[in-house]
Amino acid sequence: FATPLAPHACHIIGSARESGSLKWPPGNNAVWPWLRTVDLSACRDLHAIADRAFTGCPALETVAFPTFLEELGEFVLSQCPKLAAVDLSVCTALRTIKQGAFCGCTALVTVEFPPSMETVGKQAFSRCPKLAVANLGAC
């Protein structure tokens, strides 16, 4: 479900049919160099994004998460140097962010958490030198 909207740009838009856990087969990352946006907000039955699902996407700037997301896997969005903001506050069921989830997101400045958060894994935000605001106020 990747669609090119501009030359050398890919966008992933999930649908209500997506359910369970989002994961990619090994080696199925040909679009990663051009992936700019991921919009999973319509995936109302998507409960987990698996380990390393979007690791190493050099052009990724925006991710919209589904409301009923419960878990972000290990290194799920690590090494995405253009990802500047993460809003998880819409994920009302999110309980777990696993180890290294956003490690190496060098442009990451802000993160918003939902009140449901219980666990943030080791080094989930390591090597994010610009991270100035991690709003845990709702937790």
The identity of residue 133, as a single letter, is: V
pLDDT in tens, 79-98: 999 999 999 999 999 999 99
- Residue ranges in 2-137 assigned as alpha helix (H): none
d(CA 53, CA 23): 6
Q: Based on the number of CB atoms within 10 Å of its own CB, is 65 exposed (0-12), middle (13-18) or buried (19 or more)?
A: buried
Architecture of the 1-139 domain: Alpha-Beta Horseshoe (3.80)
pLDDT, position 79? 96
Q: Where are the domains of the chain?
A: 1-139
Q: Order of strands across the sheet with 45-49? A: 19-22, 45-49, 71-72, 96-97, 119-120
pLDDT in tens, 21-79: 666 655 555 557 788 999 999 888 899 999 999 999 999 999 999 999 999 999 999 99
The vertex-120 CA angle with 114 and 124, nearest 5°, equals 115
Residue matched to tokens 């649908």: 15
